Amino acid sequence: MSFNLKICRGEDKMETTTNPSPETIEQAIDDIIPARSNFVILEATPRLQDCDCIQTIIKWDDKPQIEYMVEAHFKYGENFTYYRRFTTDVDWLKKLFRMFALEEIPDVEGWEDATEDVLAQIEESRKRKDG
């Protein structure tokens, strides 16, 4: 089992660390700023059971308290589902990422099925790149 920590710090600025330490994962989460192209992904290779990655971004809004959007991607054969939840608890978020790196899949019970929304965002991003 291998893990890749991908840190995006703006358009076309992706850093990848293979098998990151817990401290590297936590620092990546601490370094996220509220911007659409600033996020952290932790990928498992091969897939960890049916989950191949978790990712987080700070929700961009005018609220004074930082809120993280967290997603987990599950693939079942040819089908897949993105699960999403929001949290202001950065300690919970760091633990989720650390546990995933220790090969524990997230418990997504009660999370929102965000598959259609994620697919729409991917399509929008492709259109922007294609000009």
Task: Encode pLDDT of 83-127 as tens digits.
Answer: 999 999 999 999 999 999 999 999 999 999 999 998 888 788 788
Strand order in the sheet with 14-18: 14-18, 2-9, 38-48, 51-58, 68-76, 79-87, 112-113
Locate the domains of the chain by residue range.
2-130
pLDDT over 70 (residue 80) = yes
Q: What is the pTM of this model?
A: 0.87
Give the pLDDT confidence of 35-58 residue by residue, as tens digits: 767 899 999 999 899 999 999 998
Whole-number pLDDT of residue 94: 96
How many helices and strands in the chain, by DSSP H and E?
Answer: 3, 7
- Is there a contact between 68 and 83 (Cβ–Cβ < 8 Å)? no
The pLDDT of 4-33, averaged and rounded, is 90
Query: What single-letter DSSP state applies at residue 88?
Result: S
Comparing 12-16, 40-44, 57-61, 72-76, the range with the smallest average pLDDT is 57-61
Tell me how far CA of residue 22 lies from CA of 12, 18, 34, 67, 122, in angstroms. 25, 12, 22, 21, 29
- pLDDT score for 125: 76
Q: What is the DSSP letter of 114?
A: -
